[in-house]
Amino acid sequence: MKTDVLIIGAGLMGASTALHLAMRGCQCIVIDKASPGRHASGSNAGGLRQLNRDPAEIPLTVEAARMWQNIESLVDSDCDARFTGQLRVAENQSDMDKLEQRAALLRSMGYQHEEMIGKQALYQLVPALSPHCVGGLICRHDGYARPYHALTAFRRKAESLGVVFHPCTEAYHIEQTGEDWQLHTSKGDFSSNILVNCAGAWAGQLADLLNEPVPLTPKALMLMVTERLPHFVDPVMGAASRKLSFKQMQNGTLIIGGALVAKLDFELEKTQIDWLQLANSAKTVIDFFPQLSNVRIIRAWAGIEGFLPDAIPVISASQTAKNAYHAFGFSAHGFQLSPVVGRILSQLILDGQSELPIEPFNISRFAQKKS
């Protein structure tokens, strides 16, 4: 099969890139070894968070937040996005100092979206919170969406513009003849002018094939979800100095996470829940919300995501091959960025440059480590 752009990985990054390219008239094929959204993009926590991002990501996350506010105009679905704010709670003065410093940093960069609030405002916002907290840092335009619904909306919109998705199609060999790419997959051969690596936790293997190895580590992040509960909290909750991350979805369930890592057999793609970590997480939740003690966990799972040592992604043209591009290594915070990443890649591919500053995400930052 022949196409302009061949994208490996039908997660959000792959789907968003395909959509943006198709909007500009490009012909795209997206292949995936599993099904769309099978990994990180379908199993993540759905957080739309600008709060507390690495400074390098701020221009991107702010633009992405704008895109999410208007997501329906992009993908014809609101992806169940809700903008209830994200909050980091301070439990004592040293937490408050830490959050103050963060807010000051943002102000010095000319951004206003992270805002300090005092005790009174905090309890007005979250009356259910245990009384011991003292304040917090909030980003009011943050929120959450439903990941698999978002992925589906991106895919369907891309399909309506002519993009073809091939599930159960694993890329195992890549060749470049002249400037064109030949891809051998479990479902036959593909060729294209442009190749895009959006292979999530597996992207390191493709980077290897392009002779630009990256220190990408696959990890399985755990989440647990409760039964449906009466509505009791609006913002997505985090804490200044503890592993807390949870949100109450529209349907009443709570999604609880916070960088909890499961055991992973990457070869077999098998994950194993680490109950001890989840037990600690349960304790933390109860510390902040004692009334949740008797709430039941219905499911826990782990989603496989690629992590880079500096915890910011690679979004860049290949440094070793012409007509190849990468977007991976989102280190557990790519969901929110996905609309803008697709646009950036489409610009890199079609215009040779992006309107947003993406130098920090260049894959060359790992090249110099080679001896």
Partner 1 sequence: MDNHYQLLIIGAGPAGLAAATTASRLGVSCALLDEQPEPGGQIYRSIESVSGQRAQTLGSEYLRGKQLAKAFRDCDAAYFPETQVWSLNNQRQVGILHKEESKIITADQILVASGAMERPVPFPGWTLPGVMQAGAGQILFKSAGMIPDDGVVLAGSGPLLLLLAWQYMHAGVEIKAILDVTPLSNHLLALPKLPKALLAHQYLSKGLAYQKELRRAGVKTKIGVSSLQANGEEYLESVSYNHFSRQQTIETDVLLTHFGVIPHIWLTQSAGCHHIWDKHQQCWRPQHDEWGKTSIDGILVAGDGAGINGARSAEHAGRLAGLQAVYALRVITRQERDEQAVNDRKWMLDDRHIRPFLEAYFAIPDEILATPDNHTIICRCEEVTAGEIRNAVKNGHGDSNQVKFLTRCGMGPCQGRQCANAVAHIVADAGGAPVSDQSHFRGRPPVTPLTLAQLASLSEADTQ
Partner 2 sequence: MFKQFSDSTTNTIEVVLNGQAIQVTQGISVAAMILAQGLRFNRTTPVSNSKYAPFCMMGVCYDCLMVIDGKPNQRACSIRVKQGMKIDTQQGVGPALRTSVGG
Q: Specify the DSSP class assigned to residue 199.
A: -
**DSSP string for residues in 234-250:** -SEEEESSS--EEEE-T
Q: Which residues contact 19 (CB under 8 A, 6 or more apart)?
A: 74, 75, 154, 157, 158, 161, 163, 342
Does 235 participate in binding ligand FAD (rule CB under 6 A)?
no
- Which of 30, 40, 81, 317: binder of ligand FAD (CB under 6 A)? 40
Site for partner 2 in 118-177 (CB under 8 A): 119-120, 123, 126-131
Nearest-approach distance from CB 132 to ligand FAD, in angstroms: 26
282 interacts with, out of partner 2, ligand FAD, partner 1, none, CB within 5 to 8 A per kind: partner 1
Query: Measured at the alpha carbon of residue 278, what is the angle toward residues 250 and 49, in degrees to the nearest 5?
Result: 45
- For residues 80 and 170, which CB has a smaller minimum distance to ligand FAD in the complex? 170
Q: Which residues contact 128 (CB under 8 A, 6 or more apart)?
A: 232, 233, 289, 291
Binding site for partner 1 (CB under 8 A): 35-37, 42, 148-149, 152, 155-156, 159, 165, 167, 226-227, 251, 270, 272-273, 275-276, 278-279, 282-283, 285-286, 292-301
Candidates 71-79, 81-89, 153-161, 198-206: pick the segment binding ligand FAD (CB under 6 A): 198-206
129 interacts with, out of partner 1, ligand FAD, partner 2, none, CB within 5 to 8 A per kind: partner 2
Nearest-approach distance from CB 290 to partner 2, in angstroms: 7
Look-up of token digits 């698999």: 148
Site string for ligand FAD, 247-286 (x = CB under 6 A): ----------x-----------------------------
Q: Which residues contact 182 (CB under 8 A, 6 or more apart)?
A: 174, 175, 176, 189, 190, 191
Candidates 140-148, 185-193, 285-293, 310-318: pick the segment binding partner 2 (CB under 8 A): 285-293
Residue in 199, 158, 186 with CA at minimum distance from that of residue 325: 199
Does 282 participate in binding partner 2 (rule CB under 8 A)?
no
99 interacts with, out of partner 2, partner 1, ligand FAD, none, CB within 5 to 8 A per kind: none
Does 286 participate in binding partner 2 (rule CB under 8 A)?
no
β-pairing, 2-8 vs 28-31, is: parallel
Residue in 97, 124, 109 with CA at minimum distance from that of residue 53: 109
Site for ligand FAD in 144-183 (CB under 6 A): 170-171
Distance in angstroms (rounded) separating the CA atoms of residues 191 and 277:
45
Site for partner 2 in 83-112 (CB under 8 A): none
**DSSP string for residues in 93-162:** HHHHHHHHHHHHHHHHTT---SEEE-HHHHHHH-TTS-TT--EEEEETT-EE--HHHHHHHHHHHHHHTT
Applying CB under 8 A, the residues found at the interface with partner 2 are: 119-120, 123, 126-131, 227-230, 232, 252, 290-292, 294, 296
